[in-house]
Amino acid sequence: MIWLLLRGLSWQRILDRITAASPGGLAIYGVIALGGLWFRAVRFRALLPDPRPASGPVFLTTAVQNALGDLIPARLASLGSYVWIMKRRLAVAVDSAAATFIVSFVLDLVTLGPLLLIAIAVRFGKTAPEGKEFLSLEWVAIFALVFFAISAAAAWWIGPLTRLFMRLPLAMAQGREVGLWARVAAFLDRIATSMENVRRRGTLLRLLFISLAIRLAKYASLFALTESLLNATGYAAPHPDPWDLIIGISVTELVASLPIPAIGQFGVWEGGMVGVLVMLGFPREQSTLVAFGVHGITTAFEYLIALLSFAGLLLLSKKPSGIS
């Protein structure tokens, strides 16, 4: 896939343009990305049951799992590392950690929908013939707010709905306390308990806004990174705006989540991003530079932060939960 993407282009030319990225833009990307990572840690900690680990170790754990998101499909490496560190270093139960991770993923989906709808409306507006309007941005924004409200209401009922679905594995377990179905029922119970704790604390709205901040920080940091790549090379063609990147990244991450055997999703991620940007009307070379530059730089940055964070976790002595 990488060979196909670079066919007719120069490896050296792409590499030279990536290394010529604006340091100022890279610094802005790094600061915003770290801010988004901190918000993720705040959300993880808010979802954990009492007594909770200290904020610092949770941030270090978040940095490690974040870097492993694309290592293998379906974020399994990210989930596994998060659960393992939470159990071994922060004394958090496996079921509680896994439930927290899944609920965070659900909150991410809730905040993605409205932004993606607005991004698609903006793109349709750009491609509409002069004097015509495919979609009204105002109405799409209203619909996005309604969608967000409905999604928030659905998140409010995740706990009771999960307990409803839990009846099936409980019935399959046939009263036995061990076995696959008993473990599935216990895991669903943890998810339900996590969301019910959120309801009792009255923190769901706060968590939704934190999730929205995470989403905005992600797109803002990647936009700064894209601009640092393209401004340094002096591309005269229009650059992808933040709405284009929301569409491109959303589709690319969907493609990268498919069970395609690729380490770190290299090749798969680039293929998805180049395909989307080209379909949006951007030149192939520019799209290829953005795809390889963004994926390469973000991967290097996230792994650097993860290595430093893992070293910090190793230096910390294992302490019981609840120490702040």
pLDDT in tens, 240-291: 888 899 998 988 888 777 666 666 678 888 888 898 899 888 888 888 899 9
C-beta neighbour count of 134 within 10 angstroms: 12
Of 244, 279, 278, 272, nearest in space to 256 by CA: 272
This prediction has a pTM of 0.81
* Contact in structure between 289 and 18 (CB atoms under 8 Å): yes
Per-residue pLDDT, averaged over 211-237, amounts to 86
Higher pLDDT, 307 or 258: 307
H or E element in which residue 213 lies? helix 204-233
Give the whole-angstrom CA distance, residue 69 versus residue 64. 9
Give the whole-angstrom CA distance, residue 237 versus residue 224. 17
pLDDT (tens digit, 9 = 90+) per residue, 70-110? 766 657 778 888 889 898 888 888 878 887 888 888 888 88
H or E element in which residue 22 lies? none
Of 144, 130, 115, 109, nearest in space to 243 by CA: 115
Q: Is the Cα torsion angle 28, 30, 31, 37 positive or negative in sign? A: positive
Give the whole-angstrom CA distance, residue 300 versus residue 131. 46
pLDDT (tens digit, 9 = 90+) per residue, 24-57? 889 999 999 999 999 999 999 988 877 888 999 9
